[in-house]
Amino acid sequence: MKPFARVESIEAETNCDKGFVVDTTFVLFFLAVEFGQNFGAFTLDTVLLLTTLLMLLILPYVLIANNREPFGNWLLGRTFIVIFAVLAGYMFKQTLGVVLPETFRFLPMTLLIVTTMLSCYLQFYGFFKLRLAK
């Protein structure tokens, strides 16, 4: 009976880690889109966005309890997401004022804030949902 309960707890940890990876991937995507919009200018904002982007690219791998895939595969997959998002952000900037109204320039940051709040909510919910075994 005890080994079966132990297997359930390990499965719960694995599912929590997968949710953590998905949450941080969406945050990483919208942060890279925002970075792509500011790509041409070398300002303090761009430096801080790049630093945060690099931290969000690597840090979730360290925080996962059960590392299933090698670090190289992890980094390669997330790097492709960042490259795609930076290109999408750069192209989005080019369409502002021509195809889209100028007020849409705040859309990536708005989506980043909403995604980050949702990710934090889900992480806290997963943390508080865990109960001690009786």
Domain residue spans in the chain?
Answer: 2-129
pTM score of the predicted model: 0.76
What H or E segment, with its residue span, contains residue 69? none
- Distances 43 to 7, 8, 49, 79, 117 between C-alpha atoms, Å: 50, 49, 10, 23, 26
Euclidean distance between CA atoms 102 and 66, whole angstroms: 44
Which pLDDT tens digit goes with each residue over 5-64? Answer: 554 544 444 444 555 677 888 999 999 999 999 887 788 988 998 999 999 988 888 877
- Cα dihedral sign for 58, 59, 62, 68? negative
> Of 38 and 133, which is predicted with more confidence?
38
Q: Tell me if 16 sits within 8 A of 126, measured CB to CB.
A: yes
pLDDT tens-digit readout, 92-129:
999 988 898 988 989 999 999 999 999 888 888 877 87
Can you tell me whether residue 67 is helix, strand or coil? coil
| Sign of the CA dihedral with 22 first, then 58, 121, and 34 last | negative
Q: Per-residue pLDDT for 3 more than 80?
A: no
pLDDT of residue 13: 47
Which of helix, strand or coil describes residue 126? Answer: helix
Please tell me the predicted confidence (pLDDT) of residue 115: 93
Alpha carbon distances (Å) from 93 to 19, 103, 128: 31, 11, 40
